[in-house]
Amino acid sequence: MVISEKQDEICEPNQDQMIQKLVFPEGILLESGKKIVPLEIAYQTYGQLSEAQDNAILICHALTGDQYVADVHPVTKKPGWWSKMVGPGLPIDTNKYFVICTNVLGSCMGTTGPRSIREDIPQPRCWGSDFPAITIKDMVNTQKILVDFFKIKRLFAVIGGSMGGMQALQWAVSYPEQVYSVIPIATSSFHSAQNIAFNEVGRQAIFSDPDWRDGEYWRYGVTPYRGLAVARMMAHITYLSEDALNRKFGRKLQESIKASSLPIFGEMFQVESYLHYQGSNFVRRFDANSYVTITRAMDWFDLSQTHDGDLVNAFAHVQSRFCVISLSSDWLFPTSRSRVIVQALNRVGARVSFVEITTDKGHDAFLLEEPDLDLTIQGFLAGIEEQRRLENHAS
Amino acid sequence: MVISEKQDEICEPNQDQMIQKLVFPEGILLESGKKIVPLEIAYQTYGQLSEAQDNAILICHALTGDQYVADVHPVTKKPGWWSKMVGPGLPIDTNKYFVICTNVLGSCMGTTGPRSIREDIPQPRCWGSDFPAITIKDMVNTQKILVDFFKIKRLFAVIGGSMGGMQALQWAVSYPEQVYSVIPIATSSFHSAQNIAFNEVGRQAIFSDPDWRDGEYWRYGVTPYRGLAVARMMAHITYLSEDALNRKFGRKLQESIKASSLPIFGEMFQVESYLHYQGSNFVRRFDANSYVTITRAMDWFDLSQTHDGDLVNAFAHVQSRFCVISLSSDWLFPTSRSRVIVQALNRVGARVSFVEITTDKGHDAFLLEEPDLDLTIQGFLAGIEEQRRLENHAS
């Protein structure tokens, strides 16, 4: 099934570092009916898989995340995006658990995506904007190929925040027997009109950059970095709460600026330079076609859609234990959306707990220092481990 | 003082319709110390000024508004932006009141702004991005020139929503004796970090459009319409509540789209085509340099700033009666900001009432059908009219 662990071959030269990946020559059949052949899955693992193969935790990343959960990112050289949560002795303890994280299908850190070389045509070239539309379910199906490859019959837990939470929910629905527990954080069972609207403005910012060139920018050695930076800056505002922005920046001016000089152009307020920094950092590591592809996958996400529009039907066959977590100041995926999930799970008699973390840090709080979140995840995992031990004992 | 009522001369040909304006050759001295000479003020009036000149209401428009409060807009051919509120027999009753609305300084519907011809240099040309930074106070000082020209000693009321509310508050602070009452709606005494952040992303969208050409686009016969449309689309999301978007659009698809076809490009969801419509309509009537100039004026707005950072000090000398109005689902200028205003006004013993209108329509609700808002404004105006009659009687 696997032909090689090979070095990355992607269109942009800055990405040519060694990325751990597996190649599945049979590819993947997408929800749309299209096929991607071959399929490459880039992933990182932490800890050791137990002999019983019962200690695996799959972590699903968000829109712009990647597989570098707990080790240094090869492009940015920054610590992994959840290195506060995952590691030896941390809430998701790699001394106990075998943690897997894959770069999602359609992304740009090694798993097949728009920046990958398309090999199913006579003259191999970048997928670019010919990359087919994918869904959250396609991302999950990709992860399942890797999980099956590792011969893991049942994941001890699937955990993810934001779009990662969508994948976690999809796992519970698509593969009920393969998921012992699920922790969906700051997420939703569907993308709302406002969510879609923000994504669409981000895409329009990319499309309006002349270097977008109908998605064929890689042919010309350019990248629509201005549009992508605008998309990122806007999205970044939605990841933070108003209170967090006020606390962090308020109306503080850049040191070089005097209010009396009243400039129009350039950075005046500290919040502006922070946004510019977010935008310019992002474009160094992310691909515009991936951004378009993945935001569309989020927009299409509605767990109830293939179940007569009823979330209760979608959850009818779940077997997992759930710990649904929301963040009180998250206005992108507010607590009310988690409540919808919990209510539907209750309706099907699922084992579900629900915690709203009180924080003023907004949607991004799940990535930040948030002791209550740590305690919640750690406690839930310890609880279900105990429960499983009792179950195994009884059987 | 006034030389002529003349036809408009602006850089863009589509704006050459007759706009009612006055020219003040002595110009205006800005807060920045710079001068704009001459100053043109475009305005509309409704109703008749009483002999005692005591029935004038100044209405201040928002960021992208204009002087066409209650008559057909000459470019869009649509009804005035507050034609539900202002007119004969309406809450702001033009059978009783003389209503004035000026296009704000820096805008693009006739009052001097970046699109105006600069006449203070040897070879007259567009101001473009050389237009100086302006403030909300500069906008108010411009309005005062017109109010003084009309020989109105005291405005019966100054009313405005959003940026219009900032102007209304500034009037009460700058010219306490000239304002009998103030109705600030859905506004704030300062622009927050989140407000600034959204504005900055809008500006960056404009700057990243190659047709921006450092603000000199008018020289080349182009306009950065793509960037301006992105800015408008993003801003438009902030004007609506999540509930309003869900109610109006939810996840409804365009009629031509089938969910199973999973397209990536083009309009899929109805909320997207709505946003595109908002964006493309806007660029037909608005100037990019004006957008930059006015958003900056909003960003600089902080009533407390020139009063030791204390809003109470800013309000120390107000004489007006206030009716502060907020909208329950407004997340751009939430009710908490109105409360800050009311608390500071209470602290100086001002006559202030406060109404939060319950609505799910978000910030834009003040422009929409909102019977409680009508009743609040009508009732307050009737009340202070009665009060003034008693005062006049007593004196």
- Residues B217, B159 within the same domain: no
Structure tokens at A29: 């059949």
3-class secondary-structure state, position B126:
strand
How many domains does the structure of chain A reveal? 2
Looking at residue B40, what DSSP letter applies? E
According to the model, what pLDDT value does residue A63 have?
A: 98
Residue with tokens 């569907």: A190
- Residues B351, B257 within the same domain: no
CA distances (Å), origin B183, targets B94, B165, B326, B336, B341: 17, 7, 11, 17, 12
Stretch A143-172: mean pLDDT: 98
Query: Using an 8 Å Cβ cutoff, are B361 and B370 in contact?
Result: yes
| pLDDT tens column, B255-290 | 887 766 777 777 889 999 999 999 999 999 999 999
- Residues B181, B44 within the same domain: yes
By C-alpha distance, which of A159, A204, A131 is closest to A56?
Answer: A159
Contacts of B196 in chain A (CB under 8 A): 251, 269, 271-272
CATH of the domain at A230: 1.10.1740.110
Query: Using an 8 Å Cβ cutoff, are A226 and A209 in contact?
Result: yes
CA atoms within a 13 Å half-sphere pointing along the CA-CB vector of A48: 4
Domain carrying residue B100: 13-192+302-394
CA distances (Å), origin A113, targets A60, A167, A184, A294, B276: 17, 17, 25, 10, 28
Residues of A with a known catalytic role: 162, 330, 363
Q: How far apart are CA A39 and CA A55, in angstroms?
A: 26
- Residues B144, B27 within the same domain: yes
* Degrees to nearest 5, angle at CA B154 with B153 and B157: 150
Q: How far apart are CA A37 and CA A241, in angstroms?
A: 42
- The verdict on residue A4 lying in a domain is no
The model's confidence at residue A264, banded by pLDDT at 50, 70 and 90, is confident
According to the model, what pLDDT value does residue A395 have?
A: 75
- Residues A40, A137 within the same domain: yes
Q: Is B363 a catalytic residue?
A: yes
- Residues B67, B160 within the same domain: yes
By C-alpha distance, which of B351, B348, B323 is closest to B338?
Answer: B323
The amino acid present at B61, given as its one-letter code, is: H
- The verdict on residue A6 lying in a domain is no
- Chain B residue nearest residue A309, CA to CA: B251
- The verdict on residue B178 lying in a domain is yes
The model's confidence at residue A12, banded by pLDDT at 50, 70 and 90, is very low
According to the model, what pLDDT value does residue A5 have?
A: 36
| pLDDT tens column, A287-325 | 999 999 999 999 999 999 989 899 999 999 999 999 999
3-class secondary-structure state, position B372:
helix
According to the model, what pLDDT value does residue B17 have?
A: 56
- Chain A residue nearest residue B215, CA to CA: A265
Contact B204 A248 (CB under 8 A): no
DSSP β-bridge partners for residue B354: B324
Residue with tokens 């050695």: A221
Contact B264 A300 (CB under 8 A): no
- The verdict on residue B231 lying in a domain is yes
- The verdict on residue B123 lying in a domain is yes
Query: Using an 8 Å Cβ cutoff, are B139 and B297 in contact?
Result: yes
- Residues A210, A148 within the same domain: no
Query: Using an 8 Å Cβ cutoff, are A139 and A152 in contact?
Result: no
With 80 as the cut, is the pLDDT of residue A49 above it? yes
- Residues B236, B87 within the same domain: no
By Cβ distance, the residue of B271, B279, B292 closest to A196 is: B271
With 60 as the cut, is the pLDDT of residue A92 above it? yes
Q: How far apart are CA A187 and CA A325, in angstroms?
A: 8
Domain end call among A245, A279, A295: A295
Strands, sheet with B321-327, edge to edge from the N-terminal-most edge strand: B21-24, B39-46, B98-102, B56-60, B157-161, B181-185, B321-327, B351-357
| pLDDT tens column, B137-194 | 999 999 999 999 999 999 999 999 999 999 999 999 999 999 999 999 999 999 999 9
CB atoms within 10 A of CB B87: 21
| pLDDT tens column, A209-224 | 999 999 999 999 999 9
According to the model, what pLDDT value does residue A259 have?
A: 66
Query: Exposed, middle or buried: residue A351 (CB in 10 Å: 0-12, 13-18, 19+)?
Result: middle
Identify the active-site residue in B116, B162, B188, B320: B162
CB atoms within 10 A of CB B254: 14
According to the model, what pLDDT value does residue B5 have?
A: 36
Chain centroid, CA A239 distance in Å? 14
The model's confidence at residue A10, banded by pLDDT at 50, 70 and 90, is very low
Based on C-alpha coordinates, what's the Rg of chain A? 21
Residues placed in the known binding site of B: 232, 364
CA distances (Å), origin B327, targets B240, B334, B339, B364: 11, 7, 12, 9
| HEC profile of chain A | CCCCCCCCCECCHHHCCCCCEEEECCCEECCCCCEECCEEEEEEEECCCCCCCCCEEEEECCCCCCCCCCCCCCCCCCCCCCCCCEECCCCEECCCCEEEEECCCCCCCCCCCCCEEECCCCCCEECHHHCCCCCHHHHHHHHHHHHHHCCCCCECEEEEECHHHHHHHHHHHHCHHHECEEEEECCCCECCHHHHHHHHHHHHHHHCCHHHHHHCHHHHCCCCHHHHHHHHHHHHHHHCCHHHHHHHCCCCECCCCCHHHCCCCCCCEHHHHHHHHHHHHHHHHCCHHHHHHHHHHHHHCECCCCCCCCHHHHCCCCCCEEEEEEECCCCCCCHHHHHHHHHHHHHCCCEEEEEEECCCCCHHHHHCCCHHHHHHHHHHHHHHHHHHHHHHHHC
Q: Mean of the per-residue pLDDT values for chain A? A: 93
CA distances (Å), origin B243, targets A360, A363, B373: 22, 18, 19
Higher pLDDT, A3 or B349: B349
According to the model, what pLDDT value does residue B119 have?
A: 85
User: Which ipTM was obtained for this model?
Assistant: 0.92
- Residues A346, A265 within the same domain: no
Query: Using an 8 Å Cβ cutoff, are B228 and B291 in contact?
Result: yes
Q: Is B330 a catalytic residue?
A: yes
CB atoms within 10 A of CB B220: 9
**Residues constituting chain A:** 395
- Residues A309, A258 within the same domain: no
Based on C-alpha coordinates, what's the Rg of chain B? 21
Domain end call among B295, B316, B343: B295
Domain end call among A295, A326, A353: A295
Å from A319 to nearest chain B CA? 28
Interface probe for A, chosen from B200, B270, B298, B303 (most Cβ of A below 10 Å), is B200
The amino acid present at B121, given as its one-letter code, is: I
According to the model, what pLDDT value does residue A266 have?
A: 78
According to the model, what pLDDT value does residue B100 have?
A: 98
- Residues A308, A271 within the same domain: no
- Chain B residue nearest residue A275, CA to CA: B197
- The verdict on residue B7 lying in a domain is no
Å from B362 to nearest chain A CA? 12
Interface probe for B, chosen from A188, A191, A201 (most Cβ of B below 10 Å), is A201
Query: Using an 8 Å Cβ cutoff, are B362 and B244 in contact?
Result: yes
Query: Using an 8 Å Cβ cutoff, are B100 and B150 in contact?
Result: yes
DSSP β-bridge partners for residue A56: A98
Residue with tokens 């002595």: B26
- The verdict on residue B187 lying in a domain is yes
pLDDT tens across the length of chain B (395 residues): 333 333 333 444 344 457 999 999 999 999 999 999 999 999 999 999 999 999 999 999 999 999 999 999 998 899 999 999 999 999 999 999 999 999 999 999 999 999 999 988 888 899 999 999 999 999 999 999 999 999 999 999 999 999 999 999 999 999 999 999 999 999 999 999 999 999 999 999 999 999 999 999 999 999 999 999 999 999 999 999 999 999 999 999 988 877 667 777 778 899 999 999 999 999 999 999 999 999 999 999 999 998 989 999 999 999 999 999 999 999 999 999 999 999 999 999 999 999 999 999 999 999 999 999 999 999 999 999 999 999 988 87
With 50 as the cut, is the pLDDT of residue A132 above it? yes
- Phi, psi torsion values for A29, nearest 5 degrees: -90, 125
Q: How far apart are CA B162 and CA B223, in angstroms?
A: 27
- Residues B216, B188 within the same domain: no
- The verdict on residue B219 lying in a domain is yes
CATH of the domain at B307: 3.40.50.1820
